[in-house]
Amino acid sequence: MSKVKVAINGYGTIGKRVADAVSVQDDMEIIGIAKTRPNYEAFVARDKGYEVYTLEGRVDDMKKAGIPAAGTVEDMIAKADVVVDCTPGGVGEQNKSMYEKAGVKAIWQGGEDHELAGFSFNANANYSEALGRDFVRVVSCNTTGLCRVIHPLDQEYGIKKVRVTLMRRSADPGDVKKGPINAIIPNPIKLPSHHGPDVKSVMPHINITSTAVKLPTTLMHLHTLNIELEKDCSSDDVKALFGEQPRIRMIGQGIGSTAEIMELGKDIGRPRGDMWENCIWEDSVTMYEGELYFFQGIHQESDVVPENVDAIRAMMELEEDGAESIAKTNRAMGF
Ligand code: NAD
């Protein structure tokens, strides 16, 4: 069977990671990536063997800079079965008519509104509903991290209510334009934050409220969760449940900060030091007066990457079963 042809429009933090994750799968391949400028990332893409495309009117600029641009974004998507739009939030929306005109399936990221694709995706929670769809939005890094813990708890014990405080990194490590900052920023100040409603875009029945602050760090988001469950259970039951999840890593062994989780990612040889799983502090998982509490670290640059691979597989109906797709993606990426 021929491989599904995938194009990446927007080759930044998320796009370059999705390109590499698709490349190691045996049922899909990258047919091109689109860059707006011939910066170092474009040269790395060329050196990795990706065909580099660019915006209309910039092909010659790319060629002059030493990137043999293969054509425009339109040329790229004409060759693709599915395009993964990883342009900055709000830009992806402008590309929808181009994808519709080309008759190509499209995936957007969490920076776009739910309404753009009409369907918000998390592999664990709603893979089967994405089968055969033309347009899908892979939810943000924070929403992905929340869905990965809320869905199994809901399946096993039923959820009465979730309250979450998100302590968010203010910028990605390479994102010099947004930092440095030296403050703690309640963001948004009006409560609750949009994160709870975003979880509802995947699981509408979940009762969830959220608050969020931005911190002067680039090393992961940290969530504090407080959950009321329908059925009684112990903290050991919850630890065992989390331990069975394919994209949750229980952490301990002296790890006391997000910096050490990022160090672990490098030590175990992850590409770019990425930590694709939710990192839950095992010792934090506590039942107190009948309510569940725990801390989890979310690596903003990478947790959505395997989700994009599963979204492609569902939309192209390469695999009917979500658990099988998750296992296949994880195996190929080297979880
Ligand atoms: P980024 O700024 O790192 O990368 C975006 C890339 O798209 C850049 O290379 C930019 O030059 C390019 N670009 C801009 N306009 C373009 C256009 N018209 N056509 C083609 N390319 C264009 O952004 P990112 O962090 O990778 O975010 C991409 C999407 O992923 C956003 O929706 C964001 O909300 C979402 N997301 C980001 C993170 C994160 O923490 N970085 C996590 C999860 C989801």
- The domains of the chain are located at 4-139+304-333, 141-298
Strand, helix or coil at 21? Answer: helix
pTM greater than 0.95: yes
Task: Check residue 180 and give its pLDDT.
Answer: 81
CB 301 less than 6 A from any atom of ligand 1: yes
Residue of 11, 41, 87, 138 best suited for mutating to test ligand 1, as the one with most atoms within 8 Å of CB: 87
3-state secondary structure of 169: strand
- Catalytic option among 86, 141, 147, 279: 141
**Angle ∠(216,219,220) on CA atoms, nearest 5:** 105
pLDDT at residue 295 in the model: 98
Q: Do domains 4-139+304-333 and 141-298 have the same CATH topology?
A: no
> Is the CB of 142 within 6 Å of ligand 1?
no
Q: Which residues of 307-318 are buried (b: 16+ CB within 10 A; e: fewer)?
A: bbbbbbbbbbeb
In the annotation, is 279 catalytic?
Answer: no
Tell me the Ramachandran region of residue 66: left when phi exceeds 0, alpha when psi lies from -120 to 50, beta otherwise: left
Superfamily of domain 4-139+304-333: NAD(P)-binding Rossmann-like Domain (3.40.50.720)
pLDDT at 146: 98
Ligand 1 binding pocket includes 111 (Cβ within 6 Å): yes
Ligand 1, from 37, 43, 86, 218: best to mutate by most atoms within 8 Å of Cβ? 86
Task: Please give the class, per CATH, of domain 141-298.
Answer: alpha beta
> Does any ligand 1 atom lie closer than 6 A to the CB of residue 11?
yes
Is ligand 1 within 6 A of the CB of residue 34? Answer: yes
Whose alpha carbon is nearest atom 12 of ligand 1? 10
Predicted local distance difference test score (pLDDT) of residue 334? 97
- Ligand 1 centroid–CA 240 distance in Å is 36
Per-residue pLDDT of the chain (335 residues; tens, 9 = 90+): 799 999 999 999 999 999 999 999 999 999 999 999 999 999 999 999 999 999 999 999 999 999 999 999 999 999 999 999 999 999 999 999 999 999 999 999 999 999 999 999 999 999 999 999 999 999 999 999 999 999 999 999 999 999 999 999 999 999 998 888 999 999 999 999 999 999 999 999 999 999 999 999 999 999 999 999 999 999 999 999 999 999 999 999 999 999 999 999 999 999 999 999 999 999 999 999 999 999 999 999 999 999 999 999 999 999 999 999 999 999 999 99
d(CA 101, CA 331): 35
